[in-house]
Amino acid sequence: MTAVIETESLKKTYGKHEAVRGLNLCVEAGSVCAFLGQNGAGKSSTIKMLLGMIHPTSGTGRVLGHRIDKERESLLIRQNVAFVAEDKRLYDYMTVAQIVRFTKSFFPGWKRDLEQRLLAQFELPLDRKVRQLSKGMRTKLTLLLGFARGCELLILDEPTEGLDPVAIEDVLQIVVSLAAQGTTVFFSSHQIAEVEQVADHVLMIDRGQLVLDAPMDQVKEEYRHIHAVFPEPVEERDLRLPGVEKVQTEGRTVSLTASHNVDSIVAHVRMLRARSVDVLPVSLKEIFLEKVRARG
Amino acid sequence: MRMLLYKAWIETRVRFASGLIAVAIVCIFQIEQHAWLVAMWAREWADPKGYHFSWMPLGIHEYGWYLWHYLYDNYLQQVWALFAILFAFGGLIRERSGGTVLFSLGLPVSRRRWLFSRLAVALLESIALSMFAIVVVVIGSAIIHQTFSLQQMLLHTALMIAAGVFLIAFGNLCYTLFPGNYLSLVLTLVLLGAPYLWLQTYMQHMRYLGRSTWLGYFDFAHAMAGPWQLNWSSAPWLTLLLTWTLTAALLAVTVVHGDRIDY
């Protein structure tokens, strides 16, 4: 598979604050890749670097084969990337029709049929000024302006923020259908349930560093909680095995989080004479919280 | 490009309409005042104890001089300069405060193209404003039965615009450098407007007294006005060359600085 987004040791500092610290990313063509992280983890800074809105302090990156640190190439990137920013404010002095006309003029591959469908689906009034739209309507308009561009890559920063559940479902369906048509989707979100619903790859970032890079199927299949009860308290170091991400002991009860190698870990726990061993699935939300808390 | 110009036009059209009203008021007021001022100067000139400035005979007998003095060397120029600076106000830095900069920068448009499309609209609006002044003067002068050289008027307009591009470039650099939204506008107007107006007033006073000073080299307002009878040989070419060089330098600094900004 070809990579549409690649970064190598990408770094961004603001004064003394390191927002992104040596990030190595790879997003493959045709994937729906979720980019997770807490507020201030470096997600938006990374996306802005990919699109030439901020300049990397060091490191390199390529989007669709074009270098992100060259203004001329950044322009080529933005010709083929539809970006929906976290801040969904638009030119409030334009009407819906004006801003659609304005945006479409920059994209030769503009999908008029999708534009018409979304205008109807989102019930966006063409003659109304953007300033007169509600926050949810503005978000819908921003998404329409991104989706209809007909680009190879769609970068969405918190796409469903401010939307009601019905609209969120609609948006996720559109994302899935665009992905089915071959568009690569790279999106950041705090809504982990949405991520689980549509993403086929997960990247997790914490304090500017990548802490998880795995296909969603692998995450769902391989991440497990292992609960074991022992006759005597056990040492935590006895449970430090390959694949064990986190160990929590409470007297004779041990709780492990494993990212892989589950069978060997269970066998090892049994060998330590555990009275009972339970293997439970782990949700993406739990993985996210554990990754973040482990580093905290 | 057409849509960028369209966007810049929508953003500035209220300012442009305000500019048209301001220019109309200034021109109509000065035309309306002509008869009264000429009568006053004539009385002063005839009175041995009255004021006797060297320009008075010109003011009394030459309507063209009157128009040049009150419009191109004073009030029209000041209003035009103010609105030229206002037309240039805006851009990506301002959009950052408004929250739309990420949408703009997400479009396949270079920062330089954003800058120059906005400056192009500011320049076109400034040209239109000065042309509108000519229309008002032509109509107003016909009403008060005064005649003047339209060619001179066009030449003075051309000179005002040719030198005035410096103001647009300087204002634009200030908007790029200074933080805040309206604070940058106020700072720009103070930084540009205060020395411009003070020097204009001071140097006009010195000229009335027949004195010269080194401050004359910085009298940008006089450079924009030129001599009252403007032709190919009396045009201030050296000043214009210097102005254009400085304008190019200011634009270059704005471009380089703008390319480095993180949004």
pLDDT (tens digit, 9 = 90+) per residue, A240-295? 888 888 888 888 899 998 888 888 999 999 888 888 999 998 888 888 888 777 66
Which residues in chain A are closer than 8 Å to B108, comparing Cβ atoms?
75-76, 78-79, 106-107
Record: contact B109-A106, CB cut-off 8 A = yes
User: Comparing C-alpha atoms, which of A249, A278, A273, A276 is closest to residue A262?
Assistant: A278
Sign, CA torsion A100/A107/A200/A242: negative
Q: Kindly give, in sequence order, each residue whose CB lies less than 8 Å from that of residue A55, ignoring residues fewer than 6 positions away.
A: A49, A69, B260, B262
Do the Cβ atoms of B262 and A89 come within 8 Å? no
- Check CB contact of A210 with chain B, cutoff 8 Å: no
Contact A204, A291 (CB under 8 A): yes
Report the CATH number of the A3-218 domain: 3.40.50.300
Interface membership of A59 toward B (CB under 8 Å): no
CB B88 within 8 A of CB B250: no
Q: What is the pLDDT of residues B202-254, one digit of tens each?
A: 988 888 777 888 887 888 888 899 999 999 898 889 889 999 999 999 999 99
Q: How far is CA A236 from the centre of its chain?
A: 33
Q: CA-to-CA distance for A160 and A140, rounded, in angstroms?
A: 9
Do the chains contact at A53 and B262, CB–CB below 8 Å?
A: yes
Which residue from B173, B155, B141, B187 is spatially nearest to B256, judged by alpha carbons?
B173
pTM recorded for the entire structure: 0.87
For residue A222, pLDDT over 90 is answered with no
pLDDT at B180 over 80: no
pLDDT of residue B126: 97
CATH 3.30.70 domain residues, chain A: 223-295
- The answer to whether residues B166 and B220 touch, using CB atoms and an 8 Å cutoff, is yes
Per-residue model confidence as pLDDT tens digits over A284-294: 888 888 877 76
Considering only CB atoms, which chain B residues are within 8 Å of A94? 7, 10
**Do the Cβ atoms of A75 and B262 come within 8 Å?**
no
CATH (residue range A223-295): 3.30.70
β-pairing verdict for A224-229 and A276-281: antiparallel
> Taking the domains of chain B in order of start, what are their residue ranges?
2-260
Is A103's CB within 8 Å of B108's CB? no
Nearest to B3 by CA among B98, B109, B93, B105: B109
B interface test, pick of A51, A55, A84, A87 with most B CB neighbours within 10 Å: A87
Chain B residue with minimal CA distance to A99? B7
